Structure 1
């Protein structure tokens, strides 16, 4: 009512006097409803001398007001990517179990990225007609997404290559477990095989005297031997014979598999490198036949490990090469923590100083922990810190390892 009265007041003051309108002001004025309503007042602004209240909202842009204190509804999580298990976007996806369906081919973002870097044209394939049947095929074999991401198997034809090759390999290795092991060890080798050369390669191994059981073990260890040239296979047989390893020796298959993954020049160069440290050819040959992984060590790694045992531990290298397994251990992650524990126990008189050092260093991490860490951790808590690498190994005393240097075997 107050707003209407103000508007009526403004309207009556803006009208001219009655004389100017050509009529007289009658005492019987028209009823109030017949007067001009407030809605018919012109939109022109009133004189500056009159204070008015605008009837329409201003056309100026509205002033920004802060949002309400109540938080907006949370956005729904994005849909899961293909091949990804359903779950929260912030939580890591649950690890599949062997009993869950399609657990083998469950892939994670890192594996998908690795696969796309190796075979980007997979994105052009039909996911339902091409990709999904291959995933189901490998899932039935128990081959996981990690194996597929390390090879280009997903790009090979299912009916023309994958199924025939897998069926042929199953007939050679015998069981699905052996087949799964072979595919997991060297997945890239299957993708590089030539289907027409598989059977001739097996026949070539048989002509050299390998039994079917030995061929099965060899393929499980190194499937790539099926893609090797016949003359390269013949050279490996000759080299193993020159080392004095007969084909009937149980170690023959392991040595053959290891040498088949290296060039012949690399093999003989590394064997000569061992001899440069004063080891005889017979000592090196026996070590390689017992532990063929010695040939997989790089030249720099061989030199560094031999110098460590010779200069830091003061142990004769003939004794070290007599236990070749110890050369395959990591110095930083395995040998040095064990040395720190043994040195601490010797100085605290917990173990004898005439301990067989190489025998203690050559045991597995589990056995070493049971013998020297858990056994003394209550009386000497520092052994735990030493085994974790928090206590630096400062070397053995001369009298601690002197007996070890006099036990070097002679061949």
Structure 2
């Protein structure tokens, strides 16, 4: 393995610099390139700020080479990471990498994990890391999901199994009551095993119980949106009060979904953006709040998703924009896989005068496929034999 030695203020982004490096002399020497090529010119603008680091020992060189070639880190990242972790031989880090690979970690995931928590390379694979991996696998989590979750945030691998992870699990089990739900929450954020539950989670749970939210809805919120349950208690309380003022029933799941939609600065920003997008389609404040009460997550859609859906329903199908107020859930459906195929069938039936023009969006888009086919395809197969082909996209509805 070629050792990297004595690098100081190296321009990593310009390996062809006219400065050359001489390891034996331990200094930079000016290249003879200038003498060979008198047309070499220097830019007037200052060079990018160099990466200032010093590699002065064989141990530094070994660590950097290992991080690059075995862990997949770019050279620049490896130099910076070597300031946090050092090793002289590959035995311990090799055993850690072998363990990770055997548990489904890809090279990219290993690189991400090492970059975030490099000192894990010095952990004991059998005594420290393996018991934690086995614990989560015992809950029913697959190796690919575990690798994806821990490479995204490997902090949990630095915590004690006995003093942090297991007690957190025991507490979550009293609320979620199944390992499947705990795994679902864990996939969304590892912090349900990291945070001090007495700080925010427990007070937030007690508040929801106090306002009358049933256990099933609390479990729903913690399972699918655990980050909302761990929000700062003061802010969480304000959101709960705001949702109550909007008229949500604490006994229904829409209450906790609305709380989630308002939790966090990011969600509030999305809420405000959606508000403006719906206004562009002629919705009033009351219309928007009405849709929000029916399906709170309609205020968490991307602008692109809303615009594409509204454009199709209003401009291509001719439905009034406020028709969607009564059924905002249709904005979540796939335009290509569900909405367009069904609406092509409806357009053919309209053109033949076989159904009324005022048919509701709910009736067309919400039934399961079997029910839709029975009601709008099979029922009219004698009058329009090609209707199934229209639905399957094999025939242009204009040619029927």
Report the TM range for the smaller structure's normalisation: 0.5 to 0.7
Q: Does 1:162 align with 2:162?
A: no
Larger radius of gyration: 1
Q: Could you tell me how far apart the structure 1 residues matched to 2:389 and 2:157 are? A: 49
Which residue of structure 2 aligns with residue 126 of structure 1? 124
Which consecutive unaligned segments of at least 5 residues does structure 2 have?
A: 1-97
Instruction: Go from structure 1 to structure 2 and tell me whether the alpha carbon gap of 1:113 and 1:329 turns closer, same or farther (over 3 Å shift).
Output: farther
Contact 2:305/2:331, CA 8 A, preserved across alignment = no
* Residues 282/165 of structure 1: CA separation in 2 closer, same or farther (3 Å cut): same
Q: Which residue of 1 aligns with 2:106?
A: 112
1:194-343 counterparts in 2 under 5 A?
Answer: 194-195=196-197, 197=199, 198-206=201-209, 210=213, 212=215, 214-260=217-263, 262-343=266-347
Q: Decide whether the 8 Å contact of 1:343 with 1:395 is kept in 2.
A: no
C-alpha distance in 1, partners of 2:130/2:384? 58
Name the CA distance, whole Å, in 1 between partners of 2:196 and 2:276.
Answer: 35
Is the Cα contact below 8 Å between 1:326 and 1:362 reproduced in 2?
yes
Whole-Å separation in 2 of the counterparts to 1:377 and 1:123? 66
CA RMSD of aligned residues (A): 3.6
Q: Distance in 1 between matches of 2:217 and 2:269?
A: 26
Matches within 5 A, 1:13-162: 108=104, 112-113=106-107, 115-120=109-114, 121=118, 124-148=122-146, 149-151=148-150, 152=153, 155-157=157-159, 158-162=161-165
Task: Please state whether the residue corresponding to 2:312 is helix, strand or coil.
Answer: helix
8 Å CA contact 1:161–1:195 kept in 2: the answer is no
- Counterparts in 2 of 1:82 and 1:337: CA distance versus 1, 3 Å: farther
Note if contact 1:270-1:299 (Cα within 8 Å) is conserved in structure 2.
yes
Does the aligned pair in 1 maintain the 2:140–2:183 contact within 8 Å? Answer: yes
Match of 2:186 among 183, 186, 202: 183
Q: CA deviation at 1:357?
A: 5.2
Q: CA deviation at 1:252?
A: 0.9
- CA deviations over 1:258-282 (Å, ceiling 9, x no partner): 3326432331332243233222322
2:103 and 2:386 mapped to 1: Cα distance? 42
Q: Is the 8 A contact 1:193 1:224 kept in 2?
A: no
Q: 1:222–1:134: structure 2 CA closer, same or farther, 3 Å change rule?
A: same
- Structure 1's 211 and 347: CA in aligned 2 closer, same or farther, altered over 3 A? closer
| SS of residue paired to 1:228 | coil
Matched position secondary structure for 2:106: helix
Q: Secondary structure at the match of 1:263?
A: helix
Q: Aligned with 1:279: secondary structure?
A: coil
Q: CA deviation at 1:312?
A: 0.8
State the alpha-carbon separation in 1 of the partners of residues 205 and 144 from structure 2.
28
CA distance in 2, matches of 1:117, 1:372: 53
CA distances 1:273-308 after superposition (whole Å, capped 9, x unpaired): 323322232222222122122112112322232222
Query: What is the CA–CA distance in structure 1 between the aligned matches of 2:396 and 2:122, rounded to whole Å?
Result: 55
Count of aligned pairs: 291
Deviation at 1:164, TM superposition (A): 1.7
What is the match of residue 402 of structure 1? none
Task: After TM superposition, give the deviation of residue 355 of structure 1 in Å.
Answer: 7.2
TM-score scaled by length of structure 2: 0.61
Residue 347 to residue 253, structure 1, CA distance change in 2 (3 Å)? same
Rounded Cα–Cα distance in structure 2 between residues aligned with 1:156 and 1:390: 56
Pairwise CA distance, 1:133: 1.3
Within 2, Cα distance between the matches of 1:265 and 1:299?
Answer: 12
Change (3 A) 1:141 1:395: farther
For the 8 Å contact 1:339–1:393, the answer to whether it is kept is: no
Seen in structure 2, the aligned counterparts of structure 1 residues 160 and 114 have a Cα distance that, compared at 3 Å, is farther
CA drift of 1:215 comes to 3.0
Q: Please list the CA deviations of residues 170-229 of structure 1 after superposition, one character each: whole Å capped at 9, or x if unmatched.
A: 122233343234334x14443663455243443454566645554333212311134311
Could you tell me whether the CA contact under 8 Å between 1:340 and 1:391 is conserved in 2? no
* Matching residue of 2:364: 360
* Cα pair 2:298 2:331 within 8 Å, conserved: yes
Report the alpha carbon displacement of residue 316 of structure 1 after superposing the two structures with TM: 0.8
